[in-house]
Amino acid sequence: MRVAGAMVAVGALMVVSACTGASDNTVAPVGATGSTTGVTGSTAAPTPDSSADPVTIPTEIDPGTTTSPVDPSGPSTSDSTVSTNPADTTTSTTPPPPPVLPAAKVSAAPAFGTVDLSPTAPVSVSVSDGTLVSLTMTNGEGTVVKGSLSADKKSWDLGEDLGYGKTYTVTGKAKGANGKTVAVTGSYQTVSPAEEITTSISPGDGATVGIAQPVIVRFGFTPEDPDAILKSMKITTTPKVEGAWAWITHDGDDSPSLDWRPKNYWPAGTKVHVESNIYGVKFNDSYYGGDNVTSDFTIGRSQVVYADARTYQIIVKQGCTKMNDPASCTKTVATFPASYGMGDDPDSRYGLKPQFVTRSGIHVVLDKQTEVKMQLPGYYEPTMEYFAVRISDNGEFIHQNAATVDQQGVRNVSHGCINLSPESAEAYYNSAIIGDPVEVIGTSVKLSAADGDLYEWAIPWKTWLSMSTLSS
């Protein structure tokens, strides 16, 4: 019987010796001492007889283990080859589904459907996850309203003011990242005011005025939000001039005006541009601003009258650059004997009487007329005076008074005006323009709001700066 050599896997390689002798066939582990053949109890290994019957060497084999014939050339790996080449490994995967691209999302500010919209309110339509293909706003008559599409086509902005009490329709298309087009549609309705407020600006277009002339913007209405009105005002000067707005109530007005004056006198030759951009501005729930108004005027030559009641004269200077500073002027053009109000003279026919004191402070030329009928009930009858230059609304003029020529230059005898001779009055009248300052000093009563227009220059600059709100 033929016996194949057995492979015993017991944790160490064993050498199996097949012998013809039956008396000594012990199997020794490799590396055991006493024999180079690994067989104990003999000094020489017998030569196997090829004709002898094979001897079976019993081994303990796990019944559940399959054995294979031993290859004399070494262990075989043919039945358990593992490839490390990635190309020999096949992995089966399912590709992910393509991403779902979003549709265009359109929004508007203010939201579509807004009513009582100010006609000057900004309107914008924008799209996310896409672009605007087209967008149009039209009024009730079908007229297209101006607007602009951004370079990236993601927004549209209104480009002009709307009208009061109108409905506007927005239509268009937007294309989403998913390639699909969605419709854009919406509407707005603007407010319908009960009345529109009108604006007047002084000085008016083309006027040339003196270096003390304030800007006066009248509305004829007291706004609920003065700051909103203030923000709608704009003034541009060439060269640049420091100044500020203040709320002032003028003579004969029931509501305040916005006045702008420089910190110091205007530089001669200044170009002034004023804008009242109140269209669409809310004055209250029923009243909104009407049409915008502008004015462009020029500051003329610099001329100041220096009037010291204690010297009984007035001095006319030009080229002046600073308030209350005769030294800032470049030349004197005239000196005229004068007579001021008698109210500071205890020896006058009425004694000390503040009513008849010429007010100290910076007056402004308001008007001039060649003939004015003047009267003061209880003191004198209507009298025609000539070459009259009004410097306040409390009745103060620089004018001709032939009846006081003998006192001019000597004593103050008027009821508050500055009297000049006919020749002096005419000369000054011809040199004066509206807006010229007249600086009066040397009297006991100061110019104030109680004297009416114009008292802007009697207000200290710090106080003026605090008057930009109606609560101040």
Which residues are known to be catalytic?
399, 417
Instruction: Determine whether 234 is exposed, middle or buried from the number of CB atoms within 10 Å of its CB (0-12, 13-18, 19+).
Output: exposed
Give the number of C-alpha atoms closer than 13 A to the C-alpha of residue 433, restricted to the C-beta side.
Answer: 15
Tokens coding 41: 């109890």
Across 14-37, b (16+ Cβ under 10 Å) vs e yields: eeebebeeeeeeeebeeeeeeeee
Rounded distance between C-alpha atoms, residue 205 and residue 215, angstroms: 12
Tokens coding 158: 């209104």
What own/partner pairs with CB < 8 Å and gap ≥ 24 does 109-113 have? Answer: 110/188, 112/170, 112/185, 112/186, 112/187, 112/188, 113/186, 113/187, 113/188
Number of neighbouring beta carbons within 10 Å of residue 83:
8
Query: What are the φ/ψ torsions at residue 386 (nearest 5 degrees)?
Result: -125, 155
Q: Which residue has the tokens 């937007």?
A: 174
The answer to whether the CB of 453 falls within 8 A of the CB of 251 is yes
Give the number of C-alpha atoms closer than 13 A to the C-alpha of residue 187, restricted to the C-beta side.
Answer: 8
Distances (CA, A) of 354 to 247, 350, 371, 444: 28, 10, 27, 8
β-bridge pairing 287-289 and 195-197: parallel
Tokens coding 310: 């204690």
